[in-house]
Amino acid sequence: MNKDGTCILGIESSCDDTSAAVLCEGQVRSNVVYSQDIHRKHGGVVPELASRAHVAKIVPVVLEALEKAAIEASNLDAIAVTCGPGLAGSLMAGASFAKGFALGLNLPLIPVNHMEAHVLAHFIDCETPVELLPMLCLTVSGGHTQLVHVSEQYELRIIGETLDDAAGEAYDKGAKMMGLPYPGGPVIQQLALGGRPDAYPFPVPRAGGFNYSFSGLKTSLLNTLKQRFPGGFSAETTEAADLAASWQHAINRYLMLVFEQAFRAGTYRSAGLAGGVSANRDLRERMQAFCKNNHTRCSLPAFEYCTDNAAMIAFAGSLQLHTQKGSNRGFKTQPRYPIGGVKTE
């Protein structure tokens, strides 16, 4: 895997994490992530605040990544940067910096699809990728839920996806309804410790094919809150832990149900999880149990490569470097950007 001596700087700014990483000869030398906490009190990401924070942080984050990797900018061979999908202003903040930096250093730019990078994060530090392919990967992030077929040639094909909210949004919006801070996933996971997952029954949605839909679950949570917590919700109580555990159970059980149906309908050598929600311990345990019961390999990225990070962008860029033509410094960011091939100049 690209162990040819090249050093790539990766830059990620698609949402609320400003990140830079250096990948040399296929090895991650540094991966610096600045997570913006200004959004906590707003219950979700405020796009304008996110863009401003990226502009403020991009230079120190990049310099720290170079310093930690012990490499001079003049020794880089290329810069990989997220070009979409994501928030328009956030993407532009990272891409504008990357274009200027690449121009100044006379380096090629590699525009990377953020969702492809989440999936390819499985192969960072992986000595025997061929044993994992073809893989069925469940990508669960704050903006996307996708079932992705990964071929032996690393070609990615979506075979199912959410028709409305993403799994991460179900965590975040559920937390917001319960009066808990953003991002909701880790907060719900923490609150769920010691709670009973069967305390509050939620329905199992059906979206058709290998697709997902979370809107019915959200309505069900709203009704539960109105009926069972009419006077409000305090995170300190046993009932709160039970509700968080039940909500986590409902989301993860549903994610795995459709995944299992899709897995059985195809031929795969491994099952994988990717994206921010793949940091969820209960979901990881469910995936491991599925793999064990089905005698299949399981690929769970290291925690640092689950949520948004630039190491995955540098790595995905390294796979594209030798096939892309031109310097690509004129590429356009694409807030809505489907998986399936990065546009070149």
Residues lying near Zn ion in the complex (CB under 5 A) are found at: 141, 308
277 makes contact with ligand KG4 (CB under 6 A) = yes
Decide: is 84 part of the binding site for ligand KG4 (CB under 6 A). no
Using CB under 6 A, which of 26, 84, 174, 183 touches ligand KG4? 183
Q: Which does 280 bind (CB under 5 to 8 A by kind): ligand KG4, Zn ion, none?
A: ligand KG4
Rounded least distance, CB 18 to ligand KG4, Å: 12
143 binding ligand KG4? (CB under 6 A): yes
Is the Cβ of residue 16 or residue 308 nearer to Zn ion in the bound state? 308
- Total residues contacting ligand KG4 by CB under 6 A comes to 19
Q: Which is nearer to Zn ion, 143 or 205 (by Cβ)?
A: 143
Q: Does the protein bind ligand KG4 through residue 19 (CB under 6 A)?
A: no
- Contacting range for ligand KG4; rule: CB under 6 A; set: 65-73, 152-160, 185-193, 287-295: 185-193
CB of 78 to ligand KG4, least distance (A): 23
- Cα separation of 122 and 299, whole Å? 7
Q: Does 185 bind ligand KG4 (CB under 6 A)?
A: yes
Which of 141, 145, 211, 299 forms a contact with ligand KG4 (CB under 6 A)? 141
Residue 189 lies near ligand KG4 (rule: CB under 6 A): yes
Cβ nearer to Zn ion, comparing 15 with 55: 15
Q: Which of 275, 299, 331, 337 binds ligand KG4 (CB under 6 A)?
A: 275
- Binding to ligand KG4, residues 194-253 (CB under 6 A): none
Binding residues for ligand KG4, per CB under 6 A?
15, 141-143, 168, 171-172, 183-186, 189, 275-277, 279-280, 307-308
